Amino acid sequence: MTRFVCGLGIALGILLGAHPGSAQENLSCPYRGSDPAARRSPLDSAMFQVDGHDVKVCYGRPSARGRTMIGGNAVPFGEIWRTGADETTKIRSAIALSIAGIDVEVGTYALYTVPGESEWQIIVNRAWQQWGRENYYTDEVRAQEVGRATVPVERVEDHIETFTIRTEPANDGVYLIMEWEHTRVRIPIAAGS
């Protein structure tokens, strides 16, 4: 009987832990492919809270290294970008969110962008497991988009050598801030409904 009760408790714990709204939601960064420590662009993450719940962004941090990146050959204006280096940039949340007005459920999503001179298009996509190369954004991947929104671009006077994602407080959540070279975009993130 003790074995049965213990086994039932473990099974219930596993089931409850897998529930989308559970506090046990896995927020570790899911990297794949080559050894993360051996990559030319280091991997990083930004952990923050929305409405008292943890949210994490996982991304690769390319550096300019004397090149023009945003608006140049590497990240041309008007074309989809993986928003970092190597894999897709991922956002993982244990609660429903509003990302630039796009409602998303609990889980993991890819954040793609389409940079422009005055505004960036933010794309939230359920397909986060593929490698981030832009030519991998196939019709099948596009079909998994949750939504698109636009945010304005700000000019940064000081040159930012390495792509950086960080957060700042906002009235009802946070701004997810992406900065590189002389460009900054603020993506509002709040608790979803």
pLDDT given for residue 26 in this prediction = 72
Q: Is 49 helix (H, G, I), strand (E, B) or coil?
A: strand
Whole-angstrom distance, CA of residue 169 vs CA of residue 37:
31
pLDDT given for residue 25 in this prediction = 62
Residues 190, 98: contact at Cβ < 8 Å? yes
pLDDT given for residue 42 in this prediction = 72
Q: Supply φ then ψ for residue 183, to 5 degrees.
A: -120, 140
pLDDT given for residue 34 in this prediction = 59
Residues 121, 114: contact at Cβ < 8 Å? yes
The domain locations on the chain are 26-191
Q: Which two tokens stand for residue 125?
A: 């996509």
Q: How far apart are the first and last CA of the chain?
A: 43
Whole-angstrom distance, CA of residue 69 vs CA of residue 7:
55
Classify residue 176 as exposed, middle or buried by CB count within 10 Å of its CB (0-12, 13-18, 19+). buried
pLDDT given for residue 38 in this prediction = 66
Whole-angstrom distance, CA of residue 80 vs CA of residue 148:
12
pLDDT by position in tens, the chain (length 193): 444 434 433 333 333 333 334 344 677 776 666 566 666 777 889 999 999 999 999 999 999 999 999 999 999 999 999 999 888 999 999 999 999 999 999 999 999 999 999 999 999 999 998 777 788 889 999 999 999 999 999 999 999 999 999 999 998 899 999 999 999 999 999 999 8
pLDDT given for residue 174 in this prediction = 96
Q: Is 181 helix (H, G, I), strand (E, B) or coil?
A: strand
What is the pTM for the complete model shown? 0.82
Q: Which residues contact 185 (CB under 8 A, 6 or more apart)?
A: 113, 120, 151, 152, 153, 154, 177, 178
pLDDT given for residue 172 in this prediction = 87
Whole-angstrom distance, CA of residue 15 vs CA of residue 78:
44
pLDDT given for residue 193 in this prediction = 81
pLDDT given for residue 31 in this prediction = 65
Beta bridge partner(s), residue 104 = 97
pLDDT given for residue 143 in this prediction = 95
Residues 127, 137: contact at Cβ < 8 Å? no
